[in-house]
């Protein structure tokens, strides 16, 4: 049943010894070239291995410690003061470096050193050592634990460690993302702390030496260039700890190419870019930051791998692999995204290793990023020019953004290439007008080089390329126009070959000069050592003279070329434009600026403007445009052109020529640079100035809006920036949470994280801050499924507000319908907002949280006829805005903000639809809340649910599939349209808000009205109109009005801070201060207020429909009585995360209510209540006395106590598999009166009892989840409180039900 290794090994060894005695073996195998070569190439370990086992057999398999030979050798080493049983000079004689042996000796010495008392008391306790460990704590402990465990497990791979299995199990059971988070991991670090100290000290020594080397080099004017490998070993600390960052089912490699005809499998795991992207590639950033301590430049190994990598599935051949990503369209966006992050992560200058099979697009992208590529002389040819023999490219023509070299560590040396790749060498000779020849070394090679010359590699022993040729190649390579050039010392050593009389500086066998053969695993790889020592090289005058001559020749060659300008190493898009730009016709669609990878297409709509100019700005500080280009084409009322010389990041605007005739609605003014209506990024925000107004604002005339302002606004106007839409979305997909499972959290980007102590200060109040792990943890703990963000379209702070020292905090004053607001971007860069917003969405999606945007398409920031001109007014006022018929000098204003968009015009509808689709398809948002949506439905004047706006959305295959939420009112007559929007739409149910507030705050709301709102507002969202309870967005508070704490703390608004004499904001808030206006120390009032807030939260999550809570309500946030905080970007609106006990308890209560809702199917119905299902009522209402309410009970506003049972057996909803939902039955008791009420608990047809689950009466806190009440018993419900019960079967009842179930199953089986 098990393998008997001992017996099998004995038999094998016995058989092999008999085999070795055969004469044929002795004469053929033992004398063969293969056997001799094997022994020669392994002589650095094979003799000691065979001697060890010979002595072990001689000593009857005893351990070597007990051998007499060991004692004899040790004594001899001690007498001769040697460090081992072999002389150290033996290492100097080796052709290759014996890394294993050297490393063992170094480690042994260091362990002895670490035991010294002086080391323990001086080094290990030093401040420098402590600082090193502290600054590297994000990787050093895991690294040292990894190697400690590896040593403990006899160098086995971590996959086979018992500790790994234990840690993985603990992480899985605890649902933790990393083994580092487990208690077992912490226990291991404590258990092996002493052993770990060795590896930490080892790294400390490395750090000291490398840092000292860099410092010394810089003192001599030398920069060190390091090499950062693209991949890392699968058996490494990085992979062991961060397994989520690697794909271990694949290994990286290369397809068949010039290096390997069969392809290469490097055996190293691939990166999981999607996982790395979740924390913005922190692992790579940290890696580069460490490297930057030691290097000034660094080589980015296999740089094409960041764009795409050859993925070899485990168990497959390298040639059977394929590229990741599979979609070529994703290669450039992915690579550019990652490399930009790497460029920003350190100050080192990068050099890309872009050799092998590299797509042309990658080369172009590296040039765009300003990353130097690698140019190897022998491979730089015009490969596509086959007619002329694929000629070599002269080194003087290499692009400056490059690093040139004659060979690499992965290629043959020049002499070896010359001998082995004769076709290539002969082609190069033709390029240089040389004749190809080989130079024989003088004399006979020493014995160790006299192989049996049976193959090509061995026949070249004693040969090399002509030294003059080599010298000339090295000299010419120095004239390369590349920014950097590598001088390979090994190539210069070949200028002094060996002879019989002279030892020379290289081996007789040129194969021994090679560093690595890619795609192979052999002992000779990476063990190369130069034949001479460093001291020999330093003292070798012939070599010095040859090198100096090479450099002097270079100086002579390039000195007559003063016109060569030094290349400036840049990483960002160039802001310098050529004087003349190529202007091509371009296309009229899509509108806006579109980067296609080769240039930018510009298209702007203007039906009544007769000329359009594209204005290009070089920097945000530019006072005027550097280029003003007449857009040559005009089709379908669209001016357009295409500029192949432009790139993303370019700042631009438009000037439109047309008639200035305000009385007829025409306001064209070519003195104004206009923002593109389709601007996807704001490259420069506006600065308020009189020139931003189209009319003479300083005129004393009451009709000054008719006077044209000719002052140029180019120094103050907002500018758009061309964007590159590429982004690594990875496996991002919409969470698609169904409406009946949705819980919405309305929040402001800045206010949410600006004061959070765990969010890094530099990203607080930004898109990056919103997706920080601490914010995500709060949202998930709370249980929300969607975050509804107040406007993030870039907006304008109105000048009157700024003049008061305030800002437009809410942002309902849109400047661009496509551009994310720069105010919420942590990087504050031209293109940073777009990328940062996308990252936020992707992170939220990864945690199952949807993103809903509050969008303002009903008006713009340009105001009325006295307003400024930013974009739409100057592009085509009559087309974009709704004006009174017969009096187009003015504007319809359904919003109270000065204007209304003309949704009758097809181009305006296109603008809105294009914007919505952009945010869905490019930015991956999951839905929209339409501010003052009634204004969008006013096709003529009245609100029309059959308007073109609804028709277009309903038929759009993209927009119609996301969440659509209407604010169903505007500020004009007939605008209140709660319940009147068509199918597909949900609505903010203002009727629900007012009724629930009125009920709990004693405003005379009847039980009938309360019950109607709690059960889904079926009077508003009728089944006959195709709508359901899910059409109702239920809320008690929102950004507009009192928040929850203020709702129970203030009778009146207190908006003095807004600077409008408390005249702004609503006066009727259905609020109640419970005996004191504002905050108080009265414990009775505070307890009352706590209970009332809990009542609102409980009611909200017990109601059928879609619940929405306002951010901060769960944290007991106050706005000090301000019910219109639109201009308060300060502590009034910023969330306070420092919670007192009462506040923390309220947070826990809110979370429990959301959890209760999610876990009870009766609260997640997708349909309206039916009344009765299969003889069971879906909801049954009870008065405190136990009977059902009468007509008078329903409508008598003095009666404010009610109970209801929602039965889990009466659900008609089906699951996605067609099964009928069954849920728990719950009983809810409500008392909004000012006195306690005794409720008679109803009986249920199941015969079960009632167990108290949750109560807003904190006196019952300890009874929740424990106290059980019999049907018909009395329950005292405190004034202004809610208690929630579920059915509960006592032990004996449960046992009876179990027996009944078993007997039924037996009877069915017998049948």
Supply angle C-alpha 686, 690, 693, rounded to 5.
80
Buried b (16+ CB within 10 A) or exposed e, 289-314: ebbbebbbebbbebbbbbbbbbbbee
What is residue 166's three-state secondary structure?
helix
Tell the residue number behind the tokens 């992208």, with chain if given.
365
Phi (first) and psi of residue 160, to 5 degrees: -95, 0
369 closest CA partner among 301, 322, 424, 303:
303
147 closest CA partner among 248, 236, 216, 226:
236
Going by DSSP bridges, is the β-strand pair 439-440/660-661 parallel, antiparallel, or unpaired? unpaired
Residue 658 contacts residue 875 (beta carbons within 8 Å): no
Per DSSP, 820 falls in state B
Run of H or E residues at 1282: strand 1281-1288
Half-sphere exposure of 708 (CA within 13 A, CB side): 16
Residue 896 contacts residue 971 (beta carbons within 8 Å): yes
Q: How far is CA 205 from the centre of its chain?
A: 35
Asked about 931 being catalytic, the answer comes back as yes
Neighbours of 554 (CB within 10 A): 18
Catalytic residue selected from 931, 987, 1040, 1057: 931
Neighbours of 1167 (CB within 10 A): 16
437 closest CA partner among 457, 467, 409:
467
* Residues of the chain by 3-state class (helix, strand, coil), percent to 5: 40, 15, 45
Residue 440 contacts residue 510 (beta carbons within 8 Å): no
Rounded-to-integer distance, Cα 842 and Cα 729, Å? 7
Run of H or E residues at 88: none
805: left (phi over 0), alpha (psi -120 to 50) or beta: left
What is residue 465's three-state secondary structure?
coil
Half-sphere exposure of 172 (CA within 13 A, CB side): 6
Rounded-to-integer distance, Cα 1204 and Cα 527, Å? 82
Rounded-to-integer distance, Cα 874 and Cα 883, Å? 15
Residue 1021 contacts residue 979 (beta carbons within 8 Å): yes
Asked about 1145 being catalytic, the answer comes back as no
Going by DSSP bridges, is the β-strand pair 246-254/264-271 parallel, antiparallel, or unpaired? antiparallel
Cis check for the bond before 248: say yes or no (omega within 30 of 0).
no
Catalytic residue selected from 850, 967, 970, 1129: 967
Tell the residue number behind the tokens 């640079």, with chain if given.
673
Q: How far is CA 1024 from the centre of its chain?
A: 45
377 closest CA partner among 417, 350, 349:
417
Pinpoint the alpha helices (H) of 483-610. 489-493, 534-538, 541-558
Instruction: Write the CB contacts of 8 (distance below 8 Å, at least 6 apart in sequence).
Output: none
Sign of CA dihedral 922, 926, 930, 934: positive
Cis check for the bond before 590: say yes or no (omega within 30 of 0).
yes
Residue 987 contacts residue 929 (beta carbons within 8 Å): no
Which tokens belong to 348? 């080192």
Pinpoint the alpha helices (H) of 1212-1288. none
Phi (first) and psi of residue 677, to 5 degrees: -55, -20
Q: Which amino acids are annotated catalytic?
A: 931, 967
């Amino acid at each position: 049943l098990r393998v008997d290794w001992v017996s099998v090994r004995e038999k094998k060894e016995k058989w092999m010894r008999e085999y070795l005695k055969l004469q044929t073996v002795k004469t053929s195998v033992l004398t063969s070239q293969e056997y001799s070569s094997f022994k020669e190439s392994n002589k650095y370990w094979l003799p000691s291995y065979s001697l060890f086992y010979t002595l072990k057999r001689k000593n009857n398999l005893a351990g070597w410690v007990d051998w007499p030979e060991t004692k004899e050798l040790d004594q001899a080493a001690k007498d001769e003061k040697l460090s081992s049983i072999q002389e150290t000079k033996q290492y100097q004689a080796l052709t290759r470096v014996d890394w294993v042996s050297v490393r063992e000796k170094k480690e042994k010495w260091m362990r002895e050193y670490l035991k010294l008392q002086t080391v323990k008391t001086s080094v290990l306790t030093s401040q420098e050592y402590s600082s090193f460990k502290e600054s590297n704590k994000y990787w050093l402990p895991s690294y040292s634990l990894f190697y400690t465990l590896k040593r403990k497990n006899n160098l086995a791979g971590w996959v086979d460690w018992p500790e790994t299995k234990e840690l993985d199990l603990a992480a899985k059971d605890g649902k933790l993302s990393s083994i580092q988070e487990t208690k077992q991991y912490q226990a291991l670090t404590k258990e092996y702390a002493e052993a770990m100290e060795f590896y930490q000290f080892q790294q400390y020594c490395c750090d000291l030496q490398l840092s000292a080397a860099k410092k010394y080099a810089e003192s001599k004017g030398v920069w060190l260039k390091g090499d950062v490998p693209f991949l890392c070993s699968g058996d490494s600390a990085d992979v062991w700890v961060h397994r989520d960052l690697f794909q271990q089912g694949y290994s990286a490699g290369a397809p068949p190419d010039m290096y390997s005809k069969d392809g290469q499998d490097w055996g190293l795991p691939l990166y999981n870019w999607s996982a790395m992207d979740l924390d913005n590639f922190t692992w790579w950033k940290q890696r580069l930051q460490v490297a930057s301590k030691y290097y000034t430049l660094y080589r980015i190994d296999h740089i094409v791998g960041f764009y795409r990598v050859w993925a070899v599935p485990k168990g497959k051949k390298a040639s059977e692999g394929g590229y990741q990503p599979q979609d070529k369209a994703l290669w450039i966006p992915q690579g550019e995204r990652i490399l930009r992050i790497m460029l920003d992560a350190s100050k080192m200058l990068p050099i890309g290793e872009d050799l092998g099979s590299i797509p042309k697009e990658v080369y172009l992208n590296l040039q765009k990023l300003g990353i130097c590529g690698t140019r190897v002389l022998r491979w730089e040819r015009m490969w596509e020019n086959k007619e002329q023999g694929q000629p070599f490219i002269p080194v003087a023509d290499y692009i400056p953004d490059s690093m040139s070299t004659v060979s690499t560590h992965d290629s043959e040396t020049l002499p070896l290439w010359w001998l082995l790749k004769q076709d290539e060498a002969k082609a190069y000779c033709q390029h240089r007008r040389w004749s190809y020849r080989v130079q024989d070394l003088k004399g006979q090679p020493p014995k160790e080089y006299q192989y049996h010359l049976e193959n090509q590699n061995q026949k070249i022993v004693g040969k090399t390329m002509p030294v003059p040729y080599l010298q000339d190649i090295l000299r010419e390579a120095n004239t390369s126009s590349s920014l950097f050039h590598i001088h390979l010392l090994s190539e210069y050593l070949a200028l002094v070959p060996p002879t019989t009389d002279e030892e020379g500086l290289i081996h007789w066998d040129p194969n021994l000069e090679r560093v690595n053969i890619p795609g192979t695993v052999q002992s000779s790889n990476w063990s190369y050592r130069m034949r001479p020592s460093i001291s020999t090289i330093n003292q070798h005058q012939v070599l010095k003279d040859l090198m100096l001559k090479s450099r002097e020749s270079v100086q002579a060659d390039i000195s007559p070329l003063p016109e060569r300008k030094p290349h400036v190493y840049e990483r960002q898009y160039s802001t310098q434009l050529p004087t003349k730009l190529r202007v091509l016709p371009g296309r009229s669609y899509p509108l806006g600026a579109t980067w296609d990878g080769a240039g930018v297409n510009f298209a702007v709509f203007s039906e009544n403007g007769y000329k359009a100019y594209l204005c290009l700005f070089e920097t945000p500080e530019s006072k005027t445009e550097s280029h003003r280009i007449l857009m040559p084409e005009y089709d379908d009322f669209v001016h357009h052109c295409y500029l192949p010389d432009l790139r993303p990041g370019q700042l631009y605007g438009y000037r439109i020529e047309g008639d200035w005739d305000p009385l007829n609605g025409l306001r064209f003014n070519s003195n104004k640079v206009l923002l593109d209506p389709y601007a996807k990024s704001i490259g420069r925000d506006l600065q308020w100035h009189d020139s931003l107004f189209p009319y003479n604002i300083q005129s004393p005339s009451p009709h000054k809006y008719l006077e044209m302002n000719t002052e140029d606004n180019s120094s103050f106007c907002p500018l758009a920036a061309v964007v590159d839409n590429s982004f690594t979305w990875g496996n991002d997909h919409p969470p698609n949470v169904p409406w009946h499972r949705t819980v919405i959290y309305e929040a402001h980007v800045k206010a949410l994280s600006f004061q959070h102590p765990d969010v890094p200060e530099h990203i607080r109040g930004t898109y990056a801050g919103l997706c920080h792990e601490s914010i995500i943890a709060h949202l998930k703990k709370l249980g929300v499924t969607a975050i509804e963000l107040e406007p993030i379209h870039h907006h304008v702070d109105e000048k009157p507000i700024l003049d008061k020292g305030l800002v437009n905090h809410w942002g309902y004053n849109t400047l661009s319908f496509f551009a994310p607001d720069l105010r919420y971007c942590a990087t504050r860069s031209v293109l940073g907002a777009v990328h940062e917003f996308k990252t936020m969405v992707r992170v939220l999606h990864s945690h199952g949280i949807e993103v809903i945007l509050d969008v303002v398409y009903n008006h713009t920031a340009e105001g009325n006829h006295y307003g400024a001109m930013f974009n739409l007014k100057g592009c085509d006022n009559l087309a974009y805005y709704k004006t009174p018929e017969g009096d187009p000098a003015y504007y319809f204003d359904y919003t109270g903000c000065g204007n209304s968009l003309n949704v009758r015009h097809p181009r305006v509808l296109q603008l809105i639809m294009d914007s919505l689709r952009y945010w869905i398809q490019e930015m991956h948002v999951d839905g929209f809340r339409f501010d003052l949506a009634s204004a969008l439905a006013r096709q003529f004047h009245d609100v029309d649910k059959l308007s073109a706006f609804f028709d277009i959305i309903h038929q759009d295959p993209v927009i119609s599939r996301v969440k659509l939420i209407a604010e169903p009112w505007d500020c004009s007559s007939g605008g209140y349209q709660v319940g009147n929007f068509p199918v597909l739409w949900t609505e903010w149910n203002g009727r629900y808000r007012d009724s629930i507030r009125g009920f709990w705050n004693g405003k005379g709301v009847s039980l009938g009205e309360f019950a109607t709102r709690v059960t889904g507002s079926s009077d508003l969202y009728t089944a006959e109109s195709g709508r359901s309870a899910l059409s109702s967005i239920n809320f008690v508070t929102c950004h507009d009005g009192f928040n929850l704490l203020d709702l129970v703390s203030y009778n009146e608004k207190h908006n003095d801070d807004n600077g409008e004499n408390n005249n702004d904001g609503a006066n009727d808030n259905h609020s109640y201060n419970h005996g004191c206006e504002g905050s108080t120390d009265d414990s009775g009032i505070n307890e009352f207020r706590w209970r009332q807030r809990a009542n609102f939260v409980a009611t909200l999550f017990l109601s059928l429909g879609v619940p929405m809570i306002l951010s901060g309500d769960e944290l007991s946030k106050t706005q000090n009585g301000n019910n219109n905080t639109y201009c308060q970007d300060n502590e009034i609106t910023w969330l306070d995360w420092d919670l007192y006990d009462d506040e923390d308890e309220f947070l826990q209560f809110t979370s429990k209510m959301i959890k209760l809702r999610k876990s009870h199917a009766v609260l997640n119905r997708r349909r309206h209540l039916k009344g009765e299902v299969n003889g069971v009522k879906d909801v049954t209402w009870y008065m405190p006395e136990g009977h059902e309410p009468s007509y008078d009970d329903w409508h008598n506003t003095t009666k404010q106590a009610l109970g209801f049972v929602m039965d889990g057996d009466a659900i008609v909803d089906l699951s996605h598999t067609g099964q009928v939902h069954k849920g728990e039955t719950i009983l809810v008791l409500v008392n909004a009166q000012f006195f306690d009420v005794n409720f008679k608990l109803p009986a249920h047809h199941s015969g079960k009892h009632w167990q108290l689950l949750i109560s807003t009466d904190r006196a019952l806190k300890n009874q929740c989840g424990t106290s059980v009440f019999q049907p018909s018993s009395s329950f005292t419900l405190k004034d202004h409180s809610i208690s929630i019960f579920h059915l509960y079967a006592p032990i004996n009842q449960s046992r009876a039900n179990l027996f009944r179930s078993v007997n039924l199953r037996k009877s069915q089986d017998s049948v």
